[in-house]
Structure 1
Amino acid sequence: MSLPPSNPITRLTRRLALPGWSVLSFSLTIVAGALLAAALVTGALVVFWVGVPIAVFVLLAIRAWANAQRRVIGGQLGIVIPAPYKPRVKGRLDQQALSMVREAATWRDVAWLAIDATLGFMVNLLYLSVFGIAVYYLVQPLLLATVFRHTSSPVVNNFGFYDFDTAAKTLMLVPLALACGVAWWRWGELLLRWYSYLGVVLLGPTAKTVLTARVSELREARDQTADYAAAELRRIERDLHDGAQARIAALSLTLGMAEELLRDSKPEEAAKLVGEARGECSAVLTEVRQLVRGIHPPVLADRGLSGALQAMSLDHPLPVTVVDRIPGKLPPPVEAAAYFATNEILTNITKHARASKVCIIVEHVAGVLTIEVTDDGCGGAKVAPGGGLDGVRRRLSAFDGTVEVSSPEGGPTVVTMSIPAAGGRIADQVVL
C-alpha cells in the first residue's frame, strides 16, 4: 500500500497534521501498555474459572483498541484497513474465549499490542520530542523578550554548565532548534510512515483471510444472481400467462366465431370480428415486444451500450446528458448489466429525486467500465435492503461490480457503478 498521490498543498497539510496523529498514536501506546499488563494477568488467571470472563473482556478490549489503531493508521496513510475478525460466537463465555483465542487475528493483535507498547511508545516519543524541542527553542527567545521580560529569574534551560535564562542567551539555542526542525521535517514523516506500515502488516487481513472473504462474496453473489434469474423467469412466465397468452386465447376464440359466421353466410359480422382480432393481434404484438425489450432490448444488440444509453436518454422524461467514452463493443453480459442498472437508477430518479436534469458519464479505463449518474435532485438516496439501489448492487455483484452512492441532503446525488470489462478502442462523444 502507498500514500495516494496529492498536490503540494495536500502534502504540506498532511505533514503539518502529523504531530496531531502522533499525539493520538502516543495515547494509544499508553492504552496498549495497560492492555498488555491486563493480558499477562489474565493469562495467569485463566486457569481458574474466574479468569474466563476476564479473558473475554480483555480480548474484546484488545479488539476495540486494534480497531482504533486501524482507523488511526488508515487515516494517517489515507487507506482503509479492514478488520479481519470472524463473526463472534454466541454461547458460553468459555466458548467465546476459546473461539477468539483460536483466531490468528487475535494473536496478531496481541503481537501488535506488545510492539506498540514498547517500540511504538519510543517512536512517537522520539518524534514528539524532536518536534517539541524545535518549537520550544524557536519560540523561547520571543517569550523571554515579551511575556517573561519582567520575571526576575526565570527557571529555564538549566543545563548544569550554563543557564540560558535571557532572550539574548537563548538565541544561542536557535541552531539546535533549527537542527531538530530539519530532522523533524526530513525524517519525521518517514519514521511514522515506516511504523504505520508495520502496523498495516499486522493489523490488516492476511492473504488467506482476503481470499476466504472473496470466496464468500462470490458465493453470495452467485446465490443472489441465481435467485434473481429465477425471479426473472417467474416474472416472464407470469407476464406471458396473464398477458400475451390470455390475449392469444381470446384472439383464437374471436377468429373461431368469425369462422362460424362465415359458414352461416354472415360476412359483415364476420368481417367485424376479424377487424377486432386484427386490433387485438397488434396489441399482443406490442405487449410481446415490450416483454422482449425487458429481457434484452433490441437496440442493445443492434447498437451496443452506447446506442442503448442514447435511446434511453431520449425516452426519459427528464433532460439527460450522456457523455460517452466507452469502447465500440463490450461483452454482451456486461452491456446488459450496465444497461439495466442504469435504467433502474433513472427510474429511481424519476420516482424519488425531484430532479430537473440528469448527467450520465460512461468511460472505460484500465479494463473497468465506470458509469456515473448525477442528478440535481433533493438527495438523501442510500442503498437500503430491497430498494432499487440494492437491486443494482445485487445485479452488478455477479460481475464483480460495485456501486457507490454520494447523496447529501439537498443533493446532488452521484451514483458510480464500476464493472470489470475488457474493451477496445475508446471514442469520445457527447449526446444531449
Structure 2
Amino acid sequence: MRQLVSWVASACVGFVRACVVLVVSMLVPAVWAAAAGLWIWWWGGNPWAGIAPLVWACIGTFALTRPVCWMVRALVAKWTGTVIPAGYRQAPPVTQMATGYWWNGYSYERSRRDALMDQRLRTRWRDPAIWRDLRFTAIAPITAGVICAIPPAGVAAAVLEFSQSALPGRLAGVLGLVVAIASAPYCWRSVEPVAVRFLGASSAMALAERVDELTAQRADTTVAQAAEIRRIERDLHDGAQARLVALGLSLATAEKLMETNPAQAKALMRDARVGAATSLTELRDLVRGISPPVLNERGLVDAVRALAMDSPLEADVSADVQLRLDPPIESAVYFGVAELVTNAAKHAYATRARISIAWDETGIVVDVEDNGRGGATVRAGGGLDGLRRRLAVFDGTLAVTSPAGGPTRVRIVVPCESL
C-alpha cells in the first residue's frame, strides 16, 4: 500500500513537472505559431503582409531566449541539484575619465547613463552565449518538449475518448491514461541531459572564464601581499625600530656617563635592557602574526587549538584526523579560521564557537559555528568576500549560512592532499 501511494505521488509530481517543462520549452515556438496565425489572417495576396509577423516573431524570440534559459536552469537546479553555470559575459566597470567622458570598455560617452546603455547592448550582442541560448530554444521543443508532452497528451486523449460511448473509444481512453501515468515520473527528467548538453558553457568559454578568474585572483593576491608588506613595515617602523633606536641612544649616553655618573649610567642600562626585552617581544608577536610557530611546528589542528585557547570566545575544537598540508594552504585555512572567530566575537557578539576540522579524501573541510546574532553576508569588498577570494587561489570555497538571530555556520573547503 505504501509503495502504491508513493508511486501515485511520484506520478502526480512528475505530471506537473512535465507540464511545466512543456510550457517553458514551447514559449518560443508559441511566438512563431502566433506569428504564422497573424500572417494567415493578414494574407490577402499581398506578399509584404508577412513582414510584420516575422519582425514580431524575431523580437519575441530574442526577448524570451534568456528568460527561458534562466527558467530551465532554475528548474534543473531545483529538481535535480545539477547547477548549470550561466556563462554570460560580464560587463566591465564604467569609469569617468579626466576629460569628463565615461568609458564603458567599448566607447566614450557623455553621460554614465549613455555609457551603461551602450555597454549593455554591446555586451549582450557580442556575447557568444546568446547563440547558445538560441540554439537551446530551438532544440528543447523537439527533444525535452516532445517527451514531456506525452503525459498531458495521454490525459487529453483519455478525456476525449471517455466522452464517447463506444467500447473501442473507452479502451483507447484507458490506454492513454495508462501511458500518462506510467510515463509521468520519467518524462520530465529528459530536460536535465538536454540542458546540460546545450546550456553548459563551451570549453572555450570555460577557459576564458577561468583565465579571468585567475587574473582576478592574481590581482587580489598582489594587493594582499602589498598590504601585508606595508603592515609589516609600519609595525617595524613604529614599534621595534623606534625602540631599537632609543636603545642605541641610551647605550651611547650610558657609555659617556660611565666614568662621571655611574649610577645614572646603570639606570640607563637597566632601561635599555627593558627596552630590548620589549623589542624582542614585539618582534616575536610580529613573526607570530606572519606565520605562527605552532603552525609550522605542529600543524593546522594544533594551531587552531592554540588559537581557540587564546580566543575571547569559549571555543571548542574537534578534529577526527591529525594531518599536515602544504604550508600555503595551512596558512590560508588557519588565518581564515582566525578571521571567522574574530568576526564572531567582534561583530556577531557571540560567546561560544565550535570549530570542526575533517578530511573527506578530496580536501580539508573546516566548519566554524557561533551562537551570535547572525545576519552575516558575503558583500563585495567585505571581509568574508576577501576571505573567499584568498581561498579561491587554492580552488577553495566559502559557504555562509547565517539567518537573522543566528546561528552562523561557515564552511571552508579546500581541495588538497595530505602530506
- AA paired with 2:405? G
How is 1:242-281 mapped onto 2 (pairs within 5 angstroms)?
A: 242-264=238-260, 266-281=261-276
Partner of 1:430: none
State the alpha-carbon separation in 2 of the partners of residues 173 and 127 from structure 1.
15
Contact 1:327 1:423 in 2 (8 A): no
Partner of 2:316: 321
- AA paired with 1:317? P
State the alpha-carbon separation in 2 of the partners of residues 60 and 173 from structure 1.
41
Among 84, 88, 92, the residue aligned to 1:85: 88
State the alpha-carbon separation in 1 of the partners of residues 272 and 62 from structure 2.
76
Contact 1:56 1:96 in 2 (8 A): no
| 1:375 and 2:370 correspond | yes
How is 1:166-315 mapped onto 2 (pairs within 5 angstroms)?
A: 176=175, 179-180=178-179, 183-184=182-183, 188-264=184-260, 266-315=261-310
State the alpha-carbon separation in 1 of the partners of residues 124 and 414 from structure 2.
36
Contact 2:144 2:191 in 1 (8 A): yes
Among 59, 64, 81, the residue aligned to 1:61: 64
Partner of 1:362: 357
Contact 1:35 1:62 in 2 (8 A): no
State the alpha-carbon separation in 2 of the partners of residues 401 and 32 from structure 1.
40
Helix, strand or coil for the counterpart of 1:419?
strand
State the alpha-carbon separation in 1 of the partners of residues 161 and 33 from structure 2.
37
State the alpha-carbon separation in 2 of the partners of residues 177 and 118 from structure 1.
21
Partner of 2:138: 114
| 1:353 and 2:348 correspond | yes
Normalised by the size of structure 1, how large is the TM-score? 0.77
**Deviation at 1:374?**
0.6
Contact 2:313 2:353 in 1 (8 A): yes
Contact 2:15 2:185 in 1 (8 A): no
**1:70-103 CA distances to partner (integer Å, 9 max, x unpaired)?**
2123322221112122236877999977765554
Contact 1:380 1:407 in 2 (8 A): yes
State the alpha-carbon separation in 2 of the partners of residues 341 and 10 from structure 1.
46
CA 1:354–1:17 in structure 2 vs 1: closer, same or farther (change >3 Å)? farther
Among 330, 333, 342, the residue aligned to 2:337: 342
CA 1:57–1:123 in structure 2 vs 1: closer, same or farther (change >3 Å)? closer
Contact 1:101 1:107 in 2 (8 A): no
**Deviation at 1:327?**
4.2
| 1:392 and 2:387 correspond | yes
State the alpha-carbon separation in 2 of the partners of residues 65 and 345 from structure 1.
39
Partner of 1:27: 23
Helix, strand or coil for the counterpart of 1:317?
coil
CA 1:14–1:296 in structure 2 vs 1: closer, same or farther (change >3 Å)? farther
List gaps (5 residues or longer) in structure 1.
Answer: 1-8, 137-154, 165-169, 425-432
Partner of 1:167: none
Partner of 1:159: 164
Partner of 1:126: 150
**Deviation at 1:57?**
7.2
Aligned residues: 381
Normalised by the size of structure 2, how large is the TM-score? 0.79
**1:120-151 CA distances to partner (integer Å, 9 max, x unpaired)?**
443222122346778x7xxxxxxxxxxxxxxx
**Deviation at 1:370?**
1.1
CA 1:277–1:37 in structure 2 vs 1: closer, same or farther (change >3 Å)? farther
Q: What percent identity do the matched residue pairs reach?
A: 35
**Deviation at 1:116?**
3.1
Helix, strand or coil for the counterpart of 2:372?
coil
Helix, strand or coil for the counterpart of 1:353?
coil
| 1:416 and 2:415 correspond | no
State the alpha-carbon separation in 2 of the partners of residues 270 and 95 from structure 1.
74
**Deviation at 1:423?**
1.0
**Deviation at 1:350?**
0.8
CA 1:199–1:328 in structure 2 vs 1: closer, same or farther (change >3 Å)? closer
- Identify which range, 67-76 or 81-90, moves more after superposition: 81-90
State the alpha-carbon separation in 2 of the partners of residues 227 and 75 from structure 1.
38
**Deviation at 1:52?**
9.7
- AA paired with 1:70? R
State the alpha-carbon separation in 1 of the partners of residues 155 and 272 from structure 2.
90
**Deviation at 1:354?**
1.9
**Deviation at 1:359?**
0.7
- Identify which range, 336-345 or 353-362, moves more after superposition: 353-362
Helix, strand or coil for the counterpart of 1:354?
coil
Helix, strand or coil for the counterpart of 1:400?
coil
CA 1:286–1:31 in structure 2 vs 1: closer, same or farther (change >3 Å)? same
State the alpha-carbon separation in 1 of the partners of residues 395 and 7 from structure 2.
34
